């Protein structure tokens, strides 16, 4: 299975946060699964770090290193197909980062690991929590 982790999911995983569900943790740790993080999540965190809404010890270089050290693959591009999917998604919420992550999971046929209640409203994407 290919897992795409929502921003909060991979942060909770790295921080061993109790908010991460057992199902999500098991899916991430399953050696038969591949785990991915979107550049969109990294972009979102860069903005939050710049306005002091989020802090990661060691900054962005440490965050990237942590992602790689956990054998997660960074999806480094936003494909034209993702944008087309975003255009047609219902507006259960308006977060542009989440909408692009949803579109990525749909196009790449990945399971989106998320606790976000707004994302749970999208039947178009396979979700796990």
What angle separates helix 22-29 from helix 7-14, to the nearest 10 degrees?
80
pLDDT confidence of residue 93:
82
92 Cβ contact partners less than 8 Å away, ≥ 6 residues apart: 118, 119, 121, 122
Supply the pLDDT for residue 126: 97
pLDDT of residue 52: 94
Tens digits of pLDDT across the chain (129 residues): 999 999 999 999 999 999 999 999 999 999 999 999 999 999 999 999 999 999 888 999 999 999 999 999 999 999 999 999 999 999 998 899 999 999 999 999 999 999 999 999 999 999 999
What's residue 13's pLDDT?
97
Res 117: pLDDT? 95
**Residue-range domains of the chain with CATH:** 2-128 (3.40.50.1010)
- Euclidean distance between the first and the last CA atom of the chain, given in angstroms as a whole number: 14
The strand pair at 73-75 and 34-38 is best described as parallel
């Amino acid at each position: 299975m290919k897992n795409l982790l929502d921003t909060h999911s991979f942060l909770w995983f790295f921080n061993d946060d109790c908010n991460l569900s057992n199902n999500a943790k098991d899916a991430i740790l399953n050696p038969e699964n591949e785990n991915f993080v979107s550049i969109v999540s990294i972009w979102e965190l860069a903005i939050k770090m710049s306005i002091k809404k989020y802090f990661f010890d060691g900054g962005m270089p440490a965050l990237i290193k942590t992602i790689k050290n956990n054998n997660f693959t960074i999806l480094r591009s936003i494909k034209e197909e993702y944008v087309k999917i975003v255009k047609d998604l219902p507006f259960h919420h308006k977060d542009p980062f989440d909408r692009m992550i949803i579109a990525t999971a749909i196009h790449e046929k990945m399971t989106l690991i998320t606790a976000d209640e707004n994302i749970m409203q999208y039947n178009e994407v396979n979700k796990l929590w």
